[in-house]
Amino acid sequence: MSNDVVLQFNRQRNTLTGILFYAVNGLLVIGFLYPLACVFISSLKIPGDLVMTPPTWWPSIFTIDNFSELLLSSNSMTRAIMLSGIISLLTVIGTVILSTLAGYGFSRFNFRGKNLFFVIILLTMMIPFQPILTPLFIIITKMGLQNNIIGLVLVYITFQLPFSVFMMRNTFDSIPKEIDEAAQLDGCSPLKILFRVMPTMISPGIVTVIVTTFIAAWNEFLVALVFMTDSENYTMPILLFTTSSGQYGTVNWGLLQASTTFTMLPCIIIFLFLQKHYVSGLTSGATKG
């Protein structure tokens, strides 16, 4: 009889624990989603609803005019969206290629100063990027890449490489070296092992690099503001800032909310589709063996 009581008590405790777990997580989800919902709903409001005092939660009339103005009427905004997408894509491609090759080299090859070089790479993660903007600006200007998307991509890759190399080296370290030895017995060279044997096993680490790099490049503001002095080459975050500043004190709040919604969408979609691999990449890259 006592065993039945204990079992019933354990069931009730597990039930209460489960309820508490889902309740707390539900509140956290609401807290995170509430600001996003406010922005999205505001982007569907007419101008009169956006300036009402006190503000209203639900629009009196739903409209997509703000998104139409964003994508069709404003050529500068459309250009900024395209530039941000191209810059983010090129940054991701360059960072993935370089960090994968570097991580593979640090993990699988022994050379003089290997650990020292890797420590130096990690130390660069501790340096704020603001102090090195001036020397980078001088270097990029002398290369003739100032106010050029290639120059901005090179700077973004420079900032993203330390963490990406660290992640990819740890990802390779988590793969048993016996796989390399078996592939070498079959006549595979190191590059063939990397491109033919490893891709499936290192895909979580690559996805982690893709997600972190894309979000950082898509949302970056200060570097783009410094390096892109021509208004025709403004990226999405810079144009959002100019839109929020307004002209002669006026702000198009509908266009601003629609732009903010459109800016968030790529990051949310990429994370939702790749979150499983992203978490797997973080955990596999955090442990060795």
Give the per-residue pLDDT at 97: 94
Chain center to CA of 101: 21
* Exposure of 198 in the CB half-sphere (CA atoms within 13 A): 30
Please write down the long-range contacts of 222-226, taking CB distance under 8 Å and 24 or more positions apart: 222/130, 222/133, 223/129, 223/133, 223/152, 223/155, 223/156, 223/159, 224/152, 226/133, 226/137
Digitized pLDDT (tens) for each residue of the chain, 289 residues in all? 456 665 666 677 777 887 888 889 889 988 888 888 888 888 888 777 777 777 777 777 888 777 877 777 656 777 888 899 999 999 999 999 999 999 999 988 888 888 899 889 888 888 887 788 888 888 888 888 888 899 999 999 999 999 999 989 988 988 888 888 888 888 888 888 888 888 888 888 898 899 899 999 998 888 888 888 887 788 888 877 776 655 555 667 777 788 888 888 888 888 787 777 666 655 664 544 4
Whole-prediction pTM: 0.80
Give the per-residue pLDDT at 289: 43
Q: What are phi and psi of 198, to 5 degrees?
A: -80, -30
The residues near 163 (Cβ < 8 Å, ≥ 6 apart) are: 125, 212
